[in-house]
């Protein structure tokens, strides 16, 4: 019997790593995709402890030809794809008037086009398995500000892209959604808070308290909380959820 297979990009750290480990409870094989092999090997150890097989693919999905290579490797190894979770894509938080064209292009290639190309390459296999796709956006898609314009613009594009894929998926039997997390305490978030602390003349410890207060939330989210939501979205229980953008941000976005 063929194994159930989930692909997780950005699996070397943060939400991607937490998601890969969480999905190991539900899928027999987890494909771990990211640029840093050593970090992926650490994720793989956790996946094995949870009970699933793993396939490590250290690759930069921002490169146009790489997504097809990734899918070809998965199909050669397992012969099927049941879920694709597009999590890779750290976009720099640089002011709208300071971010260069090259920085815009690099961010867009990884987070938007990487996810688009990977989903296109995986689509025939997902169609065959009646599979599911999740694309990672962020709540900045709904509250763009000049200080992180690229993050907001690319996240908004991802929500629209997921909606378009979901429209085709109704015909093809593929479920597609996007998720918009708020401030989640990853290593990248911790570095950002440390810079924010320095810029505002406070200690790191004080910043970890003040930042959530300023954002109007009770605390930072945890990667495992987002991972639980993603696991639900690719589970049988969520099959009638498609074309949705789910926000999980501790109440940071106040608009209806």
For the stretch 49-59, pLDDT in tens is 999 999 999 99
Helix (H) or strand (E) holding 209: helix 204-215
Q: pLDDT at position 199, please?
A: 83
Q: State whether 14 and 46 are in the same domain.
A: yes
In a domain, 256, yes or no: no
Where helices occur in 24-65 by DSSP H, the ranges are: 37-50
Q: What's the Cα-to-Cα distance from 46 to each of 11, 13, 196, 221, rounded to whole Å? A: 11, 12, 32, 21
Q: State whether 122 and 215 are in the same domain.
A: no
Q: State whether 146 and 206 are in the same domain.
A: no
Q: State whether 59 and 106 are in the same domain.
A: yes
Region class of 79: left (phi > 0), else alpha (psi between -120 and 50), else beta? left
Q: What is the pLDDT of residues 40-90, one digit of tens each?
A: 999 999 999 999 999 999 999 999 999 999 999 999 999 999 999 999 988
Those residues with Cβ within 8 angstroms of residue 109's Cβ, 6 or more apart along the chain or in another chain: 62
Residues in the chain: 256
Print the domain residue range for 104: 5-184+222-247
Q: pTM for the whole thing? A: 0.94
| Residue 1 pLDDT grade (very low, low, confident, very high; cuts 50, 70, 90) | very low
User: CA 223 to CA 212: how far, in whole Å?
Assistant: 16
């Amino acid at each position: 019997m063929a194994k159930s297979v989930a692909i997780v990009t950005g699996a070397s750290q943060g939400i991607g790593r937490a998601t890969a480990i969480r999905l190991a409870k539900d899928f027999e094989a987890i494909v771990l995709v990211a640029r840093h092999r050593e970090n992926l090997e650490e994720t793989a150890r956790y996946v094995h402890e949870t009970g699933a097989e793993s396939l490590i693919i250290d690759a930069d999905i921002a490169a146009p030809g790489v997504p097809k290579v990734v899918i070809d490797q998965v199909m050669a190894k397992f012969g099927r794809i049941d879920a694709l979770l597009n999590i890779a894509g750290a976009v720099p938080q640089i002011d709208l008037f300071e971010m260069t064209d090259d920085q815009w292009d690099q961010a867009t290639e990884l987070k938007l086009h990487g996810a688009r190309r990977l989903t296109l390459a995986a689509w025939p296999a997902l169609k065959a398995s009646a599979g599911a796709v999740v694309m990672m956006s962020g709540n900045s898609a709904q509250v763009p500000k000049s200080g992180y314009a690229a993050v907001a613009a690319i996240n908004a594009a991802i929500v629209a892209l997921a909606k378009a894929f979901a429209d085709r998926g109704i015909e093809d039997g593929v479920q597609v959604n996007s998720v918009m997390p708020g401030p989640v305490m990853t290593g990248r978030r911790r570095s950002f808070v440390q810079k924010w602390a320095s810029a505002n003349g406070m200690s790191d410890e004080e910043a970890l308290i003040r930042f959530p207060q300023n954002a109007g939330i009770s605390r930072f989210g945890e990667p495992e909380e987002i991972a639980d939501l993603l696991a639900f979205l690719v589970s049988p229980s969520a099959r009638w959820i498609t074309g949705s953008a789910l926000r999980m941000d501790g109440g940071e976005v106040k608009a209806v």
